[in-house]
Structure 1
Amino acid sequence: MKTVVQIDEEIKEIIPNFLEGREKDIHLFKAAIDSEDFDQLESIGHKLKGNAGSYGFDKMSEYGAAIEIAAKDRELEKIKSIVQEFEDHFQSIEIEFV
């Protein structure tokens, strides 16, 4: 199932780099999970929350916030679940420029 995200036409040129960065975040999240690096998970989640929100990717921002909170609480299993949901969401995104 595709998730349509409406993004401002004015930032169209920078969206590919933004999405590439989020793909890297997925790999960073998984590496931090493997090493149980909660500080790194919290940091990446915080950055995702802010960056995604400022570009108009609200759901992605919510995942970042949830990961940040779960990392503060040291809830590894919850983080694994959220990261998987985030990855599934990321792969389902279809951008519509408006």
Structure 2
Amino acid sequence: MSQTIRVSVDPDLEALIPGFLQNRHTDVVKLQDALAAGDLATVQSIGHMLKGVGGGYGFVRITELGAGLEAAARDNDRDAMDRQISELAQYLAQVEVIYEE
């Protein structure tokens, strides 16, 4: 049984969060496809983007995983990329947003 990960987010972002999280689910699919195709440039690019956007919305773990993906792609470390993508998918499946100041 997976455990819920609660993330506190500024209520001013409430209207944006569902779309933000849906886009991250889409990123997981893009990352899986890119890794399967050996397209490390796309993995690195998406990782870089995740590194930049996660914290701004209150999702520090997305930033951390993005940084890991970017580095793994740069280092051509397929196992690390696969692990990071799986961790991102798991995180997204477990995250619960709480809106508080």
**Range of TM-score over shorter length:** over 0.9
| Alignment partners' CA distance in 2, 1:37 and 1:94 | 31
Q: Show the counterpart of 2:54.
A: 52
The count of corresponding residues between Structure 1 and Structure 2 is 98
- Scaled by the length of structure 2, the TM-score of the pair is 0.94
Unpaired stretches in structure 2, ≥5 consecutive residues: none
Q: Show the counterpart of 1:83.
A: 85
Q: Tell me which protein shows more helix as a share of its residues.
A: 1
The one-letter code sitting in structure 2 at the alignment partner of 1:53 is: G
Superposed, 1:6-21 pairs within 5 Å as 6-21=8-23
| Alignment partners' CA distance in 1, 2:17 and 2:91 | 16
Which residue, 28, 42, 45 being the options, matches 1:43?
45
SS at 2:38 equivalent:
coil
Structure 1 runs of 4+ with >4 Å offset: none
| Alignment partners' CA distance in 1, 2:98 and 2:88 | 19
State the shift of 1:54 in Å: 1.0
Q: What is the aligned-residue RMSD (CA, Å)?
A: 0.6
SS at 1:43 equivalent:
helix
SS at 1:13 equivalent:
coil
SS at 2:15 equivalent:
helix
State the shift of 1:47 in Å: 0.5
> Can you list the C-alpha shifts for 1:48-80, whole angstroms capped at 9, x where unaligned?
111111111001110000000000001011100
- Scaled by the length of structure 1, the TM-score of the pair is 0.97
Unpaired stretches in structure 1, ≥5 consecutive residues: none
| Alignment partners' CA distance in 2, 1:33 and 1:78 | 11
Identity over aligned residues, as a percent?
Answer: 31
